[in-house]
Amino acid sequence: MRRKGPVGVITRGTTNPNRLRRCDRWVVATQHWRLTDPVDPPLVVDLGYGASPITAVELHDRLRVVRPDVLVVGLEIDPARVAVAKPLERDGLSFAVGGFEIPVPGEVDVVRAFNVLRQYDEEKVPGAWGLVQQRLSPTGLFIDGTCDEVGRLATWVAIERNGPISLTLSWRLAGLMQPSVIAERLPKALIHRNVPGERIHELLTRLDRAWAQAAPHASYGARQRFLAAVDQLQRDGVPVIGGRTRHRLGELTLDWTAVAPN
């Protein structure tokens, strides 16, 4: 990574409307306290939003539901992309040139970077995480995620100042053949670890097995089958975070200890 000017490299920038809706609704539903607790308007960064600023605009719209005065800054390393986004600025939403150094005043409450580090080499991940962690508020959160082109499969790591705390996997349940299809959308920190002997491989293997065992529930729909599979994981001692409200959405959050690389 370059150390002069914005830290990072220009990515492909592919994006689509609603692509990050799964992560956004998770933030609103489970992490809203990070936005509502601060007295001052919370600061949120959409890092590496891509060729279109739509994900930053959508993020601002969704977060205003829980905190009307939220400040969202879209950061892109490519000045041309920032110039395209500037006409969409409004009260509480702005765009600027920047990378993992997060060149905004003060500490940041939430940083969301989707499909950014996926395009980097694995050895660059710890350094990028560390730079963002330095910019977080005491209760701040960095979300490093990956999803498919239309947001039907998504995964993200939640990272606090002291390190990663969870991994979330999110599927569109309709038409799902087996949960491990999400392996191709794992964050860079895990995607190369999906091999025997690593925790993420064991987790996905267990999940596929639980999904197969839950096949009798398929007559009631994919949602009921998924709920039964998650119940089996919990009986097996997998540290699942959150309850059935989240699971019904095709969302599974796990304590980082369940998937941390060896």
Domain architecture of the chain: domains with CATH: 21-161 (3.40.50.150), 179-256 (no CATH)
Percent of the residues in the chain that have a pLDDT greater than 90, as a whole number: 90
- The residue ranking higher by pLDDT, 7 or 220, is 220
- Residues 141-148 have a mean pLDDT of 97
Q: Which two tokens stand for residue 89?
A: 């600025």
pTM listed for this prediction? 0.94
User: Which H or E run contains 165?
Assistant: strand 163-171
In this structure, how many other beta carbons lie within 10 angstroms of the beta carbon of residue 101? 17
Q: Is the pLDDT of residue 254 over 80?
A: yes
Main-chain dihedrals φ then ψ at residue 44, nearest 5 degrees: -125, 140
pLDDT value of position 15: 80
pLDDT for 233-245, tens place per residue? 999 999 999 999 9
Q: Is the pLDDT of residue 2 over 70?
A: no
Looking at residue 33, its amino acid is W
pLDDT value of position 21: 97
What is the C-alpha to C-alpha distance for residues 127 and 125, in angstroms, rounded to an integer?
5
Q: Is the pLDDT of residue 229 over 90?
A: yes
What is the C-alpha to C-alpha distance for residues 69 and 21, in angstroms, rounded to an integer?
20
pLDDT for 173-189, tens place per residue? 999 999 999 999 999 99
pLDDT for 65-121, tens place per residue? 999 999 999 999 999 999 999 999 999 999 999 999 999 999 999 999 999 998 888
- Residues 27-51 have a mean pLDDT of 95
What is the C-alpha to C-alpha distance for residues 99 and 47, in angstroms, rounded to an integer?
7
What is the C-alpha to C-alpha distance for residues 76 and 82, in angstroms, rounded to an integer?
6
Q: What is the average pLDDT score of the chain?
A: 95
Q: Could you write out the three-class secondary structure of the chain?
A: CCCCCCCCCCCCCCCCCCCCHHHHHHHHHHCCHHHHCCCCCCEEEEECCCCCCHHHHHHHHHHCCCCCCCEEEEEECCHHHHHHHHHHCECCEEEEECCCCCCCCCCEEEEEEECCHHHCCHHHHHHHHHHHHCCEEEEEEEEEEEECCCCCEEEEEEEECCEEEEEEEEECCCCCCCHHHHHHHCCHHHHCCCCCCCHHHHHHHHHHHHHHHCHHHHHHCHHHHHHHHHHHHHHCCCCEECCHHHHCCCEEEEEHHHCCCC
Q: Is the pLDDT of residue 10 over 80?
A: no
Q: Which two tokens stand for residue 102?
A: 């997060």
Q: Which residue has the tokens 């939430």?
A: 110
pLDDT value of position 4: 63
Q: Is the pLDDT of residue 1 over 60?
A: no
pLDDT value of position 7: 75
